[in-house]
Amino acid sequence: MSSFKHLFQRSLAAAPDRLHFAAHSHHLWPDASWLGQQAAWDDAARLADRKWGRVMDAIWPAAQAHVAAELHLPDPSTVVFAANTHELLLRIVSAMGPRRPLRILATDGEFHSFRRQSLRWEEAGTAVVTRVPMGEIVATAQRGGFDLIVASHVQFGTGHIFDGLADLAALARPEGPWVLIDGYHGFMAVETDLSAVADRVFYVAGGYKYAMAGEGVGFLHAPPGFGPRPEITGWYAEFEDLALPPGRIGYAPDARRFLGATFDPSGLYRFVAVREMLAREGLTTAAINAHVAPLRTALLEDFPLDAERINPAAPEAPQARFVALRSRQAAAWQAALLADEIVTDVRGDVLRIGLGLYQDARDVARLRAALAAL
């Protein structure tokens, strides 16, 4: 089996005794990201104030093009970046106009940023939220009565993959409802083609996980005609209209209408550098999944623990990049593994074991030995 550890020498050498099976949580950074970080610093030192020309005229469109290529978006200008996806969620909701309380439909397995924010909206009386299991969201949405519909492509807690994107997209209208897909656990982990629904759905993800670029690279695909004037807005959203007379609030005609204010561009440099490295190595999402598949098989064969795998899939079906195992012992197992310098994570009673490009068969063998010792 091929090994790609040479692409992660800095991260692996920084903690040589660590075995990191949490690529689904904090993906280790490849060496290319270090080069991207250096480039960001060098540009800032060399260009000073003029670095923003470099950022917005070269790095930004390169990053847009990489996102568009990965998701098969017809137009890279529908992609906008932010420090995190929570910022983008707030701007989307602010663009929905004065209707309150918002009627929101979501699955019961959304990530903490949406879960917490939606609970707070309910507490404040600004939203009424209906939460249903993933398998029920399409039928519930089709009955109508919602302003915003939120669903994860891959649920963070279980690894279940949502296959109803087209069904939800068929309901979306500029006047409502809007459909927001959280793609964080799917982007660059599950092959994703949004070309048929790009004109109707919002999609958020970022660089922290399988994009291998770290923090600061949240992004949004915003369908044209949806939310032309977000209420939560910063001066970058009118970057092309800085000559407007006082009192006029302009917005960029593309996804930059969802921009905020001054941001740290180093994450974009890292993202572009990592994507360029993957292209040189011929490592598409499909190729990385082909590397991960036999590791998953070896991990699960005659599995040494008594636990329920809650995200099984047929061999040719799309699969999450982590194995989710339910047991009352999950937290104790995670703690015992961590004491042995083996990093996994736990969500409630689910142990999550993530697989990625920087692991090989020897790593899986060591993990299995540690699991057997439990």
Q: Which of 263, 254, 264 is nearest to 234 (CA)?
A: 263
pLDDT tens track for 218-262: 999 999 999 999 999 998 998 665 556 667 888 999 999 999 999
Query: Which residue shows structure tokens 């996806």?
Result: 85
Q: Say whether 367 sits in a helix, a strand or coil.
A: helix
121's enclosing H/E stretch is helix 112-124
Record the tokens describing residue 84, joined without a space: 């995190």
Contacts for 40 with CB less than 8 Å, ≥ 6 apart: 265, 266, 269, 270
pLDDT tens track for 188-199: 999 999 999 999
- What integer is the mean pLDDT of 348-353? 96
The torsion of the CA quartet 167, 317, 309, 320, rounded to 10 degrees, works out to -70
Whether the Cβ atoms of residue 94 and residue 270 lie closer than 8 Å to each other = no
Instruction: Assign 368 a pLDDT band (cuts: 50, 70, 90).
Output: very high
Domain boundaries, the chain: 5-30+284-373, 34-276
d(CA 128, CA 4): 47
The amino acid occupying position 115 is: R
d(CA 247, CA 230): 17
Is the pLDDT at 85 greater than 90? The verdict is yes
Query: What's the whole-number average pLDDT of the chain?
Result: 95
CATH architecture of 5-30+284-373: Alpha-Beta Complex (3.90)
Specify the pLDDT at position 316: 77
d(CA 368, CA 295): 11
- What integer is the mean pLDDT of 183-210? 97
Peptide linkage before 223 cis (omega within 30 of 0):
no
Residue 368 Cα distances to 194, 213, 239, angstroms = 37, 29, 53
Is the pLDDT at 31 greater than 70? The verdict is yes
- What integer is the mean pLDDT of 92-111? 96
Specify the pLDDT at position 191: 97
What's the pTM value of the predicted model, to 2 decimals?
Answer: 0.96
d(CA 222, CA 64): 12
DSSP strands (E only) in the chain? 19-20, 79-82, 102-107, 127-132, 148-152, 178-182, 201-205, 218-221, 308-309, 322-326, 342-343, 345-347, 350-354
- What integer is the mean pLDDT of 347-371? 96
CATH architecture of 34-276: 3-Layer(aba) Sandwich (3.40)
Q: Say whether 151 sits in a helix, a strand or coil.
A: strand
Q: Which of 177, 182, 148 is nearest to 165 (CA)?
A: 182
Angle between helix axes 85-94 and 112-124 (nearest 10 degrees) is: 40
Instruction: Assign 268 a pLDDT band (cuts: 50, 70, 90).
Output: very high
Instruction: Supply the DSSP symbol for 201.
Output: E
Angle between helix axes 361-373 and 330-339 (nearest 10 degrees) is: 120
